[in-house]
Amino acid sequence: SRAAAQDVAPGRVGAAKPEVINLGANTLSIGPAKSALQQIAESAPDSGGYPGKEARDFMSTLSEQLGVPEDHISVYPGSGTPLGLAVMTFTGPERSLVTADPTYEQSWRTAPKVGGKVIKIPQRADNSHDVQAMCAADPKAGIVYICNPNNPTGAITTRKDIEYALAHKPAGSILLIDEAYIHFSDNAASVVDLVPTHPDLLVLRTFSKLYGMAGLRLGYAVAQPATLEKMNFYGGGSVALTTFVAGTASLRDAKLVPERRKMIAKGRNETIAWLEKKGHRCTKSESNCFMVEIGRDAKEFQKAMATWGVMVGRSWPGFETWPRISVGTEEEMARFRAAFVQVMAGRTG
């Protein structure tokens, strides 16, 4: 009954509709770090001018932390921009895109626009990337794309596998490592440090995920200058002054990454354990998202969850009964579990 439903669904107290929560976009509702918000407030009045010192401070802080020279970094409004630029630059009628299946599909949509064929390689049983098959897929590959940790599975590709890909990828192809979710994982090793010695390596990062800055738009590419120059031929957009200061403050906030990583890991592991106990298989995630086997159409599930004010992610072709769930705060995961119970019992809110 409705009354019984209200007892178990936190946020459904009384007649008032609960706040809608978004566990569908791999973003964090807690938003930017306090220190970032403070810097935005302080510098907003200076926004009558273009970013100068703010951009330089960000660049020098980032370059120092990454241990690569500034001319190995390009900054963009998000990492979707350089991802698009790279695919448009390095794939084409003679140069395919090789990716895992499933993975983040932006590149799947972009490559065909420039005549690039998309070659999808199924993931291994443990949800990791089959780097051997990916490297052997097409001698004319323009890009081999690895999302680490992967979206939507949350699974990681080991550094050993990425080193294998660097050594065995087709000659002349770019190995594109999308590290949008790297900060959430204890075991996924960044390969930014390999960029200065590998001209075909391109690493992308964003502030949209762990840093809680999706709405502020900030991301960057790390590659050797010749690669960046090719990608940036038509420009890549510019970043707001307030966004630069928020980025610098976030980078300087030493506790931000470990604290948020810990919070998300706890929410993820508890939720996955709870789902598995109920008999639902989940992907092996080290990120702020995972896929869960629900044994029914994910689109219908998504609609039913929304009636309880809980937005969950979509499913991927071939994985129609495996919706992607983003991991949020403790309260949000409690809302997810309560709504899940209702929806699996056939009740809508």
- Segment 241-270, which members bind ligand PLP (CB under 6 A)? none
Residue 282 tokens, joined: 């989940």
Pairing mode of beta strands 289-291, 324-326: antiparallel
Among 59, 135, 174, 180, binds ligand PLP (CB under 6 A): 180
Q: Which residues contact 8 (CB under 8 A, 6 or more apart)?
A: 338, 341, 342
Rounded to whole angstroms, how far apart are CA atoms 237 and 243? 13
Told to check if 78 binds ligand PLP by CB under 6 A, we report yes
Of 49-57, 75-83, 136-144, 242-250, the window that binds ligand PLP (rule: CB under 6 A) is: 75-83
Question: What's the number of CA atoms in the CB half-sphere (13 Å) around residue 195?
Answer: 26
Residue 94: CB minimum distance to ligand PLP, A: 26
Contact characters 124-153, ligand PLP, x per CB under 6 A: -----------------------x---x--
Residue 263 tokens, joined: 């919070």
Told to check if 110 binds ligand PLP by CB under 6 A, we report no
Among 11, 32, 80, 313, binds ligand PLP (CB under 6 A): 80
Told to check if 28 binds ligand PLP by CB under 6 A, we report no
Rounded to whole angstroms, how far apart are CA atoms 3 and 9? 10
Residue 123 tokens, joined: 């993931």
**8 phi and psi angles, rounded to 5 deg:** -100, -5
Contact characters 39-58, ligand PLP, x per CB under 6 A: --------------------
Question: Exposed (0-12), middle (13-18) or buried (19+): which is 254, by Cβ within 10 Å?
Answer: exposed
Nearest one of 155, 176, 156, 154 to 165, comparing CA atoms: 176
Compare residues 26 and 342 and give the one whose CB is closer to ligand PLP: 26
Quick one: how many helices (H) and strands (E) in the chain? Answer: 12, 11
Nearest one of 121, 118, 94 to 108, comparing CA atoms: 118
Contact characters 205-244, ligand PLP, x per CB under 6 A: -x-x-----x----x-------------------------
Of 11-19, 72-80, 166-174, 339-347, the window that binds ligand PLP (rule: CB under 6 A) is: 72-80
Of 41-49, 78-86, 167-175, 240-248, the window that binds ligand PLP (rule: CB under 6 A) is: 78-86
Compare residues 5 and 28 and give the one whose CB is closer to ligand PLP: 28
Residue 287: CB minimum distance to ligand PLP, A: 9
Of 73-81, 163-171, 264-272, 301-309, the window that binds ligand PLP (rule: CB under 6 A) is: 73-81
Nearest one of 128, 125, 120 to 154, comparing CA atoms: 128
Rounded to whole angstroms, how far apart are CA atoms 64 and 289? 30
Q: Which residue is nearest to ligand PLP (CB)?
A: 78
Told to check if 26 binds ligand PLP by CB under 6 A, we report yes
Rounded to whole angstroms, how far apart are CA atoms 51 and 298? 44
Rounded to whole angstroms, how far apart are CA atoms 330 and 273? 14
Task: Tell me which residues touch ligand PLP (CB under 6 A).
Answer: 26, 78-80, 83, 104, 147, 151, 178, 180, 206, 208, 214, 219
